[in-house]
Chain A
């Protein structure tokens, strides 16, 4: 992979990032009015006015914009209206929790989903293909959070085996017992998100593999007399990897959407849960910071997928 390719991908990601930053500023001002909408409670008029002045909401849009960019350049995202802590500190608490849940479930669903997709394509039109296809469609059509509600109903409500919310038991022990507790709290959200995302990986993989199976080089490999499993491992799966990676990258935005609802359902203290709290609390600086974080997560994930693509595709690699 030449450095020029890498540099170009990074440049595109940076341009998108700049656009996101600008969009983040104007979205909130085009659809709402921070001075009116996003300060909570019945404050005395002079206190409200003081907050508005302190935040600069009484300045011209241009002045506010330059201030926003200036603060951002210093890594300052403002202060939460509710906790009165810097937004960056709040994000520092929330991001690792989201990444933990998201990476665990994404890895699990990707591994299982692509595996099932390969099997379905391999057994195209047979019982196993139909069975995998139907259950994937059913999982794909379920709202993620509803699947989670079913799990909570069974495992937290009925059987009372697992906790149905939060990251740890409040006031629980420290040390190793704490991590064991967190692990237990992690099971249901991870299971929900994994099953919720699995369907798309099955569809993507099955379509990509089925397409490659019809191509000439696979026909040749078969005609030459290679064993079916060798054909699959050496000639089908490597060729199918490219479209799979691209499609998965395109879907990452949706995965984050699923994570938000699952976090909301389980009160898992991540970015999505914080977003909903910020909306309920009319916490404007938090909301802006959280949205920026989510967008950056998606851009970074897309960049990684892009670079991976460049690494996998010999046409790009040697370009």
Chain B
């Protein structure tokens, strides 16, 4: 463990010291990540779910959206697992395994998209706030405090239910509402971290020199500040994917997702409504939750490892 940690630390020094370009940094960060146990487990989990998202619909026995998947007579509804339907069927006679495989795409896409929105917002606000200072800083940080104090899930529930009525004809339907809501409420932590990093970066010599040479503020922020905060932003963004995946699952379970599409949260909502727990239909409600747990765990493991690599103060002293 300590050898691996030392190697990770050395790799981190190289990343922080070298300005050899983003690719070199990314490659050594990945190498450092794969040297830790947690990073390895996280990457394996992530790889499995990315493969499921890409190829799941090809592996699925049937297309749950197709009319032929429904049982018209109702005779095949809520079947127990069998050799035909490995995880049984749902309340409309559709194959649960197929739904599970189709859902990987939606759950992963919504989680990633929401995390990307909140990370971009947080980075932008953090950089502007930290670099500009003064009133801009005070205003933005007041907004930041505000977003941190309002309760996340209740606010998301209300926003999603109000917006959901208008989203029927948006691309991706109500799932895009979830992306928007989770993204819009999740930037405050990132901007806090970015801002404090910017405060130290802007006093560095290379930034001062750029200013003396007459670079515009925008150039300095984009060329000289942004690269300095990027590793932190990345680690934080990966952590936020797991929170977004969980938030999407929660909101869908509460009935705020798109009933027409498949996500693991939506499946759990259906399973709950069909009384799967009291009837002992384990094959219906255990797999979707397990998938969410493992996906969230994968992103957390990668995020924590990256954070240790890029943020020396978080690193364990062995």
Residues of A within 8 A of B277 (CB): 149, 152-153, 156-157, 164
Contact: B148 with A291, CB < 8 Å? no
Does B149 contact A302, Cβ atoms closer than 8 Å?
Answer: yes
- In the assembled complex, B150 has its CB within 8 A of some CB on chain A: yes
Q: Among A37, A143, A152, A256, which residue has its beta carbon within 8 angstroms of that of B250?
A: A143
In the complex, the answer to whether A299 meets B278 with C-beta atoms within 8 Å is: no
The stretch from A15-23, A43-51, A58-66, A72-80 touching chain B is: A15-23
Interface string of A266-287 (1 = CB under 8 A from B): 0000001001100110000001
Given contact pairs A141-B294, A276-B254, enumerate 11 new A-B contacts (beta carbons under 8 Å): A27-B158, A141-B296, A143-B292, A144-B250, A149-B289, A256-B153, A257-B250, A261-B153, A261-B253, A272-B154, A295-B151
Q: How many angstroms between the C-alpha atoms of A275 and B278 in the bound complex?
A: 25
Chain A residue at minimal CB-CB distance from B247: A257
Asked whether B148 lies within 8 Å of A250 as measured between CB atoms, the reply is yes
Q: Within the complex, what minimum Cβ distance (angstroms) separates B220 from chain A?
A: 32
Q: Is the pair B250, A145 in contact by a Cβ cutoff of 8 Å?
A: yes
Among residues of B, the one whose C-beta sits closest to the C-beta of A139 is B293
Which residues of A from 114 to 159 have beta carbons under 8 Å from B? 124-125, 137-138, 140-146, 149-150, 152-153, 156-158
- Asked if residues B253 and A37 are in contact (CB atoms below 8 Å), the reply is no
In residues 1-39 of chain A, which contact B (Cβ within 8 Å)? 16, 19-20, 23, 27-28, 31-32, 37
Bound complex: CA A39 to CA B65 (Å)? 33
Q: A31-B163, A153-B282, A275-B157 are in contact. Are A125 and B318 (CB under 8 A)?
A: yes
Is A231 interfacial (CB-CB < 8 Å)?
A: no
Q: Which of B159, B253, B282 makes the CB contact (< 8 A) with A27?
A: B159
Is A254 an interface residue, CB under 8 A from the partner?
yes
The interface size bin for chain A is: 35 or more
If A256-B151, A256-B154 touch, whether A146 touches B293 (CB-CB below 8 Å) is: yes
Beta-carbon contact of B162 and A28 below 8 Å: yes
27 contacts between A and B (CB under 8 A): A31-B159, A125-B318, A138-B297, A140-B300, A141-B294, A141-B296, A145-B250, A145-B253, A146-B249, A146-B285, A146-B292, A149-B277, A152-B278, A153-B280, A153-B285, A157-B279, A210-B316, A253-B148, A253-B149, A256-B153, A257-B153, A261-B250, A264-B254, A291-B155, A291-B158, A294-B151, A297-B151
- The reply to whether B152 and A253 contact each other, CB–CB distance below 8 Å, is yes
**A154-B254 Cα distance, complex, nearest whole Å:** 22
Chain B residues lying within 8 Å of A150, measured Cβ to Cβ, are: 286, 289
Complex Cα–Cα for A31 and B153 (A): 17
With A253-B150, A257-B153, A298-B151 already in contact, the answer to whether A149 and B285 are too (CB < 8 A) is yes
- List the B residue with the shortest CB-CB distance to A258: B153
| Cβ contact within 8 Å between B157 and A157 | no
B148 and A257 form a contact (CB under 8 A): no
Contact B268 A146 (CB under 8 A): yes
**A212 at the binding interface (Cβ < 8 Å):** no
**Bound complex: CA A254 to CA B149 (Å):** 10
Q: Interface majority SS on B: helix, strand, loop or mixed?
A: helix
Q: Assess whether B84 is interfacial by the CB under 8 Å rule.
A: no
Judged by a CB distance under 8 angstroms, whether A214 is at the interface is yes
Cβ of A152: which chain B residues have Cβ within 8 Å of it? 277-278
Give B155-187 as 1s and 0s: 1 = Cβ < 8 Å from A's Cβ atoms.
101110111010000000000000000000000
Closest CB-CB distance, A144 to chain B, in whole Å? 8
Q: Across chains A and B, which 5 residue pairs bring their CB atoms closest together, nearest first?
A: A257-B153, A146-B289, A31-B162, A32-B162, A141-B297
On chain B, the residues within 8 Å of A297 by CB distance are: 151
For the complex formed, measure the closest distance between the CB of A60 and the CB atoms of chain B, giving whole angstroms.
Answer: 21
A230 to chain B: closest CB distance in Å? Answer: 23
B29 interfacial contact with A, CB 8 Å: no
Cα A297 to Cα B296 in complex, Å, equals: 28
- Chain B nearest CB: distance from A214 CB in Å? 6
Residues of the A chain whose Cβ atoms lie less than 8 Å from the Cβ of B254: 260-261, 264, 276
What chain A residues lie within 8 Å of B155 (beta carbons)? Answer: 27, 291
Q: Is B301 an interface residue (CB 8 A)?
A: yes
- Residues of chain A with a CB closer than 8 A to B158's CB: 27-28, 31, 279, 287, 291
Mark contacts of A243-257 with chain B using CB atoms, 8 A cut-off: 1 yes-contact digit, 0 otherwise: 000000010011011
Known: A143-B250, A276-B254, A287-B158. A295 touches B296 (CB 8 A): no
Q: Are B278 and A164 interface neighbours, CB within 8 A?
A: yes
**CB-defined contacts of B162 to chain A, threshold 8 Å:** 27-28, 31-32, 37
Question: Once the chains are docked, how many angstroms separate the CA of A291 from the CA of B150?
Answer: 10
The answer to whether the Cβ of B61 comes within 8 Å of any Cβ in the partner chain is: no
Is the beta-carbon distance between A149 and B1 smaller than 8 angstroms?
A: no
Inside 8 A of B268's CB, which chain A residues have their CB?
A: 143, 145-146, 149
> Which residues on the A side are within 8 Å of B159 (C-beta)?
27, 31
Contact digits for B126-152, partner A, Cβ 8 Å, 1 yes 0 no:
000000000000000000001011111
1/0 contact string of B54-79 vs chain A (CB within 8 Å): 00000000000000000000000000
Chain B proximity of A119: nearest CB distance (Å): 17
Cα-based distance from A261 to B163 in the complex (angstroms): 20
